[in-house]
Amino acid sequence: MELLSGEVTLNYLDIYLPNILAALAAAVALAILGSMLAARSESLQAFVASQSAALGITIGLLVLIFTVGMEHGMIMLPTIFAFIFSVSVYLVTQKLCERHRVVATEILVAAFLLIIAINYLFTAAIPSLEQHFSIAFMGDIATASGASSYWLFAVSLLSVFFFILNYRRLVFQSFWIASSGIVMFPVLKLCFYLVASLLIVESTRLFGFLFTSASLLCLPLGASIGTKSLKGFSLSLPLLAIVSTSLGFGLSLKFQNLSTSATIVVMQVLVSALFVFKNNLRS
């Protein structure tokens, strides 16, 4: 029985290895990105950008259906649309928020709702898009193809390298944006937003809005409340991402009825809450 169980585990690992690697790397990269965005008071912008990416994917698929057909294999088209949409919506909402600071939150919530409504309008009108909409929104990490998972793994790894290499300067930059609106290192800021857009778009396209948004917000939140220094924060962030995502993935494999992304998100919240509780108890 043990041998059988071992074989089953081994098979699971064989089958899901690319998905597990991609989920772990994406969770770490999104957590670091989320912490920088939250430090710049741009968490809501990240949600809107992520939702815009989902709309871009829907429109990209729509264009595919009405032009060359889904089987044609122009897989980059939804990505291109998602990238254009998320960057454009980010720039427009950012401009509006700068002009009307007092109602910035309301502007972003309105944009978020409008994008969901447009997305739903398209998918309700064209039934063949409904399944894609469901994947783009809720995502299913375990059923993503090996090629997609390896691609997201590569994008996430690249993002993590970029964040690690520039970590101190990015924190410095975020600090001054939050403290006085001053932008130190403008070229680094441009690179940061390019990496951020690519990561958010690809994670939303392949693993869904739910996993992407939760990794951007929940993990940094846990690390922020649960630690008392930059060093502690920086070390606990990837640790929280790896532990909670591994637990979520493991549970969804053990209990087949559980959706992978939803289980990972629940574990991210639970592990973060436990981390905060444990650290507050100690202090």
Partner 1 sequence: MIEGQPLLKVSDFSVCSPVGAFLSKLDFSLHAGEVVLLKGANGSGKSTFLRYLFQLLNSVGGQQGVSNIETSKLKEFSYLPQTLNREFFIPMTLAEVAELNACTLLEEDLKLSKLLPSNLRSKLWNVSSGGEKQRSLLVQSLLPACQLYVLDEPFNHLDEEAVELLVEVILHRVRSKGASFLIATHTLPKGFQDKDVSVKSLFMGGAA
Span interacting with partner 1, options 53-61, 229-237, 239-247, 260-268, rule CB under 8 A? 229-237
Positions in 62-121 near partner 1 (CB under 8 A): none
CB of 50 to partner 1, least distance (A): 19
Q: Which residue of 169, 194, 254, 278 would you call a contact of partner 1, by CB under 8 A?
A: 169
Using CB atoms within 10 A of its CB, is residue 84 exposed (0-12), middle (13-18) or buried (19+)? middle
Using CB atoms within 10 A of its CB, is residue 183 exposed (0-12), middle (13-18) or buried (19+)? exposed
Name every residue whose Cβ is closer than 8 Å to that of residue 192 and which is 6 or more positions away in sequence. Answer: 36, 162, 166, 170, 173
Q: Which residue of 2, 3, 71, 229 would you call a contact of partner 1, by CB under 8 A?
A: 229
Using CB atoms within 10 A of its CB, is residue 274 exposed (0-12), middle (13-18) or buried (19+)? middle
Q: Which residue of 18, 20, 31, 35 would you call a contact of partner 1, by CB under 8 A?
A: 35
Q: Which is nearer to partner 1, 120 or 167 (CB)?
A: 167
How many angstroms separate the first and last alpha carbons of the chain?
Answer: 45
Q: Which residue of 5, 71, 228, 283 would you call a contact of partner 1, by CB under 8 A?
A: 228
Q: Which is nearer to partner 1, 60 or 220 (CB)?
A: 220
Cα–Cα distance for residue pair 130/132, rounded to 1 Å: 5
Positions in 173-212 near partner 1 (CB under 8 A): 174-176, 178-180, 182-184, 186-187
Using CB atoms within 10 A of its CB, is residue 122 exposed (0-12), middle (13-18) or buried (19+)? middle
Using CB atoms within 10 A of its CB, is residue 257 exposed (0-12), middle (13-18) or buried (19+)? exposed
- What single letter denotes the amino acid at residue 46? A
Q: Which residue of 99, 168, 254, 278 would you call a contact of partner 1, by CB under 8 A?
A: 168
Q: Which is nearer to partner 1, 120 or 172 (CB)?
A: 172
Q: Which is nearer to partner 1, 73 or 232 (CB)?
A: 232
Contact between 3 and partner 1 per CB under 8 A: no
Q: Which is nearer to partner 1, 1 or 187 (CB)?
A: 187
Span interacting with partner 1, options 4-12, 103-111, 150-158, 230-238, rule CB under 8 A? 230-238
What is the chain's length? Answer: 283
Span interacting with partner 1, options 115-123, 130-138, 228-236, 243-251, rule CB under 8 A? 228-236
The distance of Cα 208 from the centroid of its chain, to the nearest Å, equals: 8
CB of 208 to partner 1, least distance (A): 25
Distances (CA, A) of 82 to 58, 86, 91, 236: 8, 6, 14, 31
Applying CB under 8 A, the residues found at the interface with partner 1 are: 35, 38-39, 41, 168-169, 171-172, 174-176, 178-180, 182-184, 186-187, 220, 224, 227-233
